[in-house]
């Protein structure tokens, strides 16, 4: 294991931050896998999982059983990790401007297409190398003027060129679930099975430019743009939602790390045969058909269903109780699927998002991710 520390821009004189990067295996070995935790800095389950991953990968490397190269960033957002307001950690949004740390990453595809337009040939491997180089040039040209933008650019630079990218997050309260592109769902199905994922939410474009889509989306778009040249999908990325924010537990983190190690073995990054796949796999659901339950008015939030429950259209999911009159409004599901996430606050304002169902409702368009 080689550990490096990348300095980040000073946010104020004397206040320095850095990004710690652990590298395992021979540089340049394939498959190359990039794993980061806690880009939303108040999502701690991935951080503990990364601690267990680091131990396991170091031991595997010592045994000489590493075939690929693994890059692990256990704390992807040192800026966010330092943000607290009156004792509460604020790690999802930058306090400086309110921006979400996992939104507005660059779309490298249009510029990459221009760079490779007249240079793609008949050799798929050469085309992949050409596109990877062009994407790196596009990233280098991406302006990053604020410390947070530099952080984003640095993280993308670390993961760019990887065959597989795993971004470890969690929901407020949640069952294990994944987000990825439809074309990558099959690649990550074994990961989901080992993790015990209840649902994989897929979208061609989620609308928020999250971290994972930087790497996978350009390959799909380029293959569509240049249908006459052989251009394989050379990068697949997934956002792994490790249940809820309070699900920080040694046993869970150890099991999640073991599941990721099994997937790395399955992907050919480790020597030996991977463990047997569990029989059960979570459902694959379209993100644009997922249902967000909202509060019809202010009141006390009392859930009737747990995260991970299978819901049918018409089922009562959550009560909103008026604290002055005792009147209850029950929010019913309008679609069927897994209740994969719940809000963790127990008092709602009108319109507040209460929970999410990997449903089968009518398709939405626009920005499909929450704030
Ligand atoms: Zn997150």
Same domain? 220 vs 331: no
CA 40–ligand 1 middle distance (angstroms): 5
So what's the pLDDT on residue 244?
98
69 in a structural domain: yes
So what's the pLDDT on residue 254?
98
Which CATH number is 236's domain given?
3.40.630.10
So what's the pLDDT on residue 366?
84
The candidate with the shortest Cα–Cα distance to 340, out of 322, 326, 359, is 359
Same domain? 234 vs 320: no
Same domain? 90 vs 236: yes
C-alpha dihedral sign at 275, 58, 196, 283: negative
Ranges under pLDDT 50 in the chain: none
Tens digits of residue pLDDT in 98-125: 999 999 999 999 999 999 999 999 999 9
Same domain? 205 vs 267: yes
Partner residues linked to 37 by β-bridges: 168
So what's the pLDDT on residue 286?
94
CA 2–ligand 1 middle distance (angstroms): 27
The candidate with the shortest Cα–Cα distance to 247, out of 157, 317, 351, 342, is 342
CA 39–ligand 1 middle distance (angstroms): 7
Domain span holding position 300: 290-358
CA 75–ligand 1 middle distance (angstroms): 13
Same domain? 319 vs 177: no
Percentage of residues of the chain with pLDDT beyond 90: 92
The candidate with the shortest Cα–Cα distance to 348, out of 334, 368, 371, 328, is 328
So what's the pLDDT on residue 280?
75
CA 102–ligand 1 middle distance (angstroms): 7
Domain final residue, candidates 286, 316, 331: 286
Same domain? 177 vs 317: no
Domain final residue, candidates 232, 265, 286: 286
Same domain? 157 vs 195: yes
CA 29–ligand 1 middle distance (angstroms): 29
363 in a structural domain: no
Count CB atoms within 10 A of the CB of residue 286: 18
260 in a structural domain: yes
103 in a structural domain: yes
CA 227–ligand 1 middle distance (angstroms): 34
CA 231–ligand 1 middle distance (angstroms): 31
So what's the pLDDT on residue 82?
94
So what's the pLDDT on residue 132?
98
So what's the pLDDT on residue 190?
96
CA 125–ligand 1 middle distance (angstroms): 34
36 in a structural domain: yes
So what's the pLDDT on residue 360?
87
**Number of domains within the chain:** 2
Same domain? 304 vs 278: no
364 in a structural domain: no
So what's the pLDDT on residue 371?
79
Domain final residue, candidates 240, 255, 286: 286
Tens digits of residue pLDDT in 256-292: 999 999 999 999 999 989 899 988 778 999 999 999 9
Same domain? 18 vs 48: yes
CA 371–ligand 1 middle distance (angstroms): 10
Is the full-model pTM beyond 0.85? yes
229 in a structural domain: yes
Q: How far apart are CA 235 and CA 263, in angstroms?
A: 16
CA 171–ligand 1 middle distance (angstroms): 6
Same domain? 202 vs 315: no
So what's the pLDDT on residue 312?
97
CA 210–ligand 1 middle distance (angstroms): 10
């Amino acid at each position: 294991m080689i550990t490096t520390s990348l300095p980040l821009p000073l946010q104020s004189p004397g206040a320095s931050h850095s990004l710690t990067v652990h590298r395992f295996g021979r540089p340049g070995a394939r498959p190359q896998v990039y794993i980061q935790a806690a880009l939303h800095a108040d999502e701690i389950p991935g951080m503990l999982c990364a601690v267990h991953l680091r131990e396991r990968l170091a031991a595997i490397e010592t045994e000489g059983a590493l075939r690929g190269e693994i890059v692990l960033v256990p704390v992807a957002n040192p800026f966010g990790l330092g943000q607290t307001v009156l004792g509460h950690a604020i790690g999802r949004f930058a306090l400086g401007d309110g921006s979400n740390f996992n939104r507005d990453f660059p779309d490298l595809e249009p510029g990459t297409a221009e760079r490779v337009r007249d240079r793609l040939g008949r050799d798929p491997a050469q085309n992949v190398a050409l596109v990877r180089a062009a994407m790196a040039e596009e990233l280098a040209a991406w302006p990053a003027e604020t410390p947070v933008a530099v952080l984003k650019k640095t993280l993308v630079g670390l993961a760019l060129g990887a065959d597989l990218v795993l971004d470890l997050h969690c929901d407020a309260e949640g069952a294990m679930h994944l987000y990825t592109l439809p074309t990558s769902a099959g690649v990550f199905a074994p990961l989901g099975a080992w993790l015990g994922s209840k649902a994989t939410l897929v979208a061609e474009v989620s609308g928020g430019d999250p971290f994972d889509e930087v790497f996978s989306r350009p390959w799909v778009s380029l293959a569509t743009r240049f249908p006459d040249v052989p251009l394989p999908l050379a990068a697949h990325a997934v956002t792994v939602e490790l249940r809820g924010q309070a699900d920080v537990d040694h046993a869970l983190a150890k099991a999640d790390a073991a599941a990721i190690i099994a997937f790395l073995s399955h992907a050919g990054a480790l020597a030996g045969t991977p463990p047997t796949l569990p029989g059960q796999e979570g459902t694959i659901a379209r993100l644009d058909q997922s249902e967000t339950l909202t509060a019809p008015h202010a009141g006390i939030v009392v859930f009737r269903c747990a995260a991970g429950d299978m819901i049918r259209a018409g089922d009562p999911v959550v009560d909103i109780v008026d604290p002055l009159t005792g009147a209850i409004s029950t929010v019913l599901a309008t679609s069927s699927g897994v209740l994969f996430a719940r809000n963790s606050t127990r008092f709602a304002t009108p319109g507040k998002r209460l929970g999410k169902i990997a449903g089968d409702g009518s398709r939405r368009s626009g920005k499909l991710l929450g704030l």
